[in-house]
Amino acid sequence: MIELIKKTLLTGVGLAVMTTDKVREMGEDLVSQAKLSENEGREFVDNLMKQSETARAEFETRVGAAVKKAVESMNLVHKDELAKLHARIDALAAEVARNQQPPAPG
């Protein structure tokens, strides 16, 4: 039964999005229901916590990749590119201003 519950949690996003406290609480509840020894229970909860961290990291990686792909498909300008354009515009504006000044009397 415990294996079935673990597999169910791991196949979905459930374990990845659960808080650490919630994972620990759920693990302890399962341990008490399954009447595991103290060592078995501790091992089970520790294993569940490790799997939770792994699932969370994988979930964050996948979400990050999906967001990056979505943003790239929008053809948005990157912040660095925009900063370069602003600097170039400022430089060109300064050059235009210099060229519009009357020549210094000679």
Alpha-carbon distance of 37 to 55, in angstroms, equals 26
Q: Which of the four pLDDT bands, split at 50, 70 and 90, describes residue 89? A: very high
Which pLDDT value is given to residue 21?
74
Average pLDDT of the chain to the nearest whole number: 78
Judge whether 92 lies within some domain.
no
Q: Which of the four pLDDT bands, split at 50, 70 and 90, describes residue 93? A: very high
Judge whether 79 lies within some domain.
no
Residue 56 domain boundaries: 2-74
Judge whether 88 lies within some domain.
no
pTM assigned to the model: 0.49
For the cut 60, the answer to whether the pLDDT of residue 9 exceeds it is no
Judge whether 98 lies within some domain.
no
For the cut 70, the answer to whether the pLDDT of residue 66 exceeds it is yes
Domain count, the chain: 1
